[in-house]
Structure 1
Amino acid sequence: MAKAALITGITGQDGAYLSRFLLGRGYHVRGLLARRSSDSLWRLRELGIADDVELIDGDLCDLSSVQRIMQSSAVDEVYNLAAQSFVATSWQQPVLTAQVTGVGALNVLEAIRARDTAIRFYQASTSEMFGLIKHEQQDENT
């Protein structure tokens, strides 16, 4: 049986490329959509995979929404790529940014814990969280 993955932030650059990569490896790919707009799927269409992924409407900041998705989706892996992708906007909307990147990640982890602790989880982040750095490479000691 093929592995299944859930990707938050599937319509972003990294989510679209990860979808293509996983589909190429035989995965069933599901993607969480925060809201639908006429052009939100353009990257998936451009990569020729829009019809190959299962899109699920939901709200990462709403625990019951995330739990509903996790309970109804048999997944082996969750890739949390959802985030405020524009640094300037993250400073202009700090509460929303914290909700998506902090509370959203916590909601995913709680839903995984309630569903099946064997589900593998990947959390994407940004080097911006390190602030002004003295060297390029970042690791656990930075």
Structure 2
Amino acid sequence: MSGEKKASISTKRFYSPTDFPVQVHDSTGVHIAYVKPEGSDLHQRFWTMALQKGCAAEGFQIQREEEFEELDPVEELKEILLSMIRNPQEGDFTASGLPDLRRLVKKAGYNVPRTEMIQAWNLVQQDVEKLPPDEAAE
């Protein structure tokens, strides 16, 4: 009996992407663990969920939330709308001349609130009005 090998438990150290612990669970939802900012050793059953929640395994660098550049969604949408005007495709705009929200959502890659689309569209319209007449017609 003394010659038997114990099954090794595979663990890896993970770090929370925020200053607060992140709760993770296994695929069954029965077992729960917490990933702390200073690091926590997790059993292999938690690795997938930890990665899905933005935790980083030891040896990988985490980009903290405060390091992300804040993007103004309306300005981003404005750029997408301008590209839709420059390179129009069938169905990009409705019969009334407004951008088709479904098309905008596909191009933006996320669910665009109608209010943000209208704000961005109004900015595009203001920019077009400022152009000299020959450039606005292009």
- Of the two, which has the highest radius of gyration? 2
Question: Normalising to structure 2: TM-score of the pair?
Answer: 0.23
Question: Normalising to structure 1: TM-score of the pair?
Answer: 0.23
